[in-house]
Structure 1
């Protein structure tokens, strides 16, 4: 499958082509040779695809939001946090104590009308029907919290959307996980600023899944961090959600898009 994006920016034409091929497709090697021969800039991204049967059989599934459904919010918009256990170097481990605040004046708020669920630095915010479906399922480890929109010089607006909240945090990943650059982790806490490459394969020890809920958070924080101790300027990605197939099924049946679902792998050691 190929998708072509052709547009002009600042008077210059830019053409981007996205080609999706199976890793065993013989055309992949030919395409790579042509790209090298014609000196074309290209990026190779690889990921695993799963069947519904594999999702239903998974012990837990990592829930990752794609960039399309991202909305701006968090500490820069007066969401309150407890910093007593936060890493001083990267902010990992801070705990949200107030309602989640979105940038009510920002263009990304349009996403609330385009998606059933959106993400905000790995926080997940769902529309009312999806929130009701999650509540009716009586999922362990999940609560639904209020969301407000912050608009400068105006009163806060409480939205009808809800923030997913997980009470349980899983232990650290097994070092047998692949696609996880553990060497990139924050040198102070080893928990934050972790980079990944594709395909990501998250592995847990069987003993570390004891007590897992339907909705959990990872211990690790992935991605970009901007942190100098001041919440007003902070950009802090929160840990991914790790959920049971029951949660995946609710999102799937609701027609939710904008997320990537990665079943975990379990080892005994």
Structure 2
């Protein structure tokens, strides 16, 4: 007969304000008892701060991600794409989703989903956005590729922005500019939380209600072949009017980050 000591792992989540006096005490206790922990910091904003923002960056969370894009027959123009990372490729065809994957099943759980930073919305939300006459926005059809490779049109719509903002100000924080693609400086950017996006005042001239960033954040797999490519597209950057529509529709699965306007 042998005696065994049962080991039990307990995960505890603690949320504290960064200025909470209990935070350094907690960190000292964790160190004293040699407990491993992960620390994640983020900014939280009030409705008043969103309303006052000149523009708001829309970041999708992983919970509402669906698979689609170049590997599923979506067509792109590669004439201005970076040969090293693919940044700058322009979608020219209908957006295609993987109709066989498990993520497509989750469409009914959300009002809006993301696919490598593309935003796809259900029909009622698409109609609300269309009625709002948002500058710079158009809505495109979305298809799902079936196992027999036959495309099936969905009632969802892809958001399309006609305007791209200039590059971010280097005074943005939480962004690893050194991680950028060495060829174009546009793709492969990494960020850490809390990220704070900043633009020069002059860069906001001509901004629409719906825009795209110039930069591409996130993982890249690119060798020039669309059939194997994985490339996250630039984030959407919108006015408070758009944020309000999504909020009132009860949309979840996205993080909204007001930009900062800085001088030279």
Match of 2:112 among 99, 109, 117: 117
Give runs of aligned pairs for residues 1-269 of structure 1, distance below 5 A.
15-269=10-264
Per-residue CA distance 1:13-42 (angstroms, 9 max, x = gap): 764332211111122112222222233332
Provide the aligned C-alpha RMSD in A.
1.3
Quick one: distance in 2 between partners of 1:216 and 1:89?
25
Aligned residue for 1:187, secondary structure, equals coil
Quick one: distance in 2 between partners of 1:189 and 1:256?
34
Query: 2:4: which partner in 1?
Result: none
Per-residue CA distance 1:190-237 (angstroms, 9 max, x = gap): 000000011100000000100000000000000110111111111100
Query: 1:6: which partner in 2?
Result: none
TM-score normalized by the length of structure 2 = 0.95
Pairwise CA distance, 1:45:
1.1
Query: 1:5: which partner in 2?
Result: none
Count of aligned pairs: 258
Higher strand share: 1
Q: Do the aligned partners of 1:204 and 1:265 also contact (CA within 8 Å) in 2? A: yes
Aligned residue for 1:261, secondary structure, equals strand
Q: Do the aligned partners of 1:111 and 1:118 also contact (CA within 8 Å) in 2? A: no
CA separation of 1:183 and 1:268: change in aligned 2, threshold 3 A: same
Consecutive unaligned residues in structure 2, runs of 5 or more: 1-6
Pairwise CA distance, 1:154:
4.6
Structure 1 outlier segments of 4+, above 3 Å: 12-16
Quick one: distance in 1 between partners of 2:29 and 2:181?
39
CA separation of 1:46 and 1:247: change in aligned 2, threshold 3 A: same
Quick one: distance in 2 between partners of 1:20 and 1:243?
29
Q: Do the aligned partners of 1:79 and 1:96 also contact (CA within 8 Å) in 2? A: yes
Aligned residue for 2:34, secondary structure, equals coil
Aligned residue for 2:81, secondary structure, equals coil
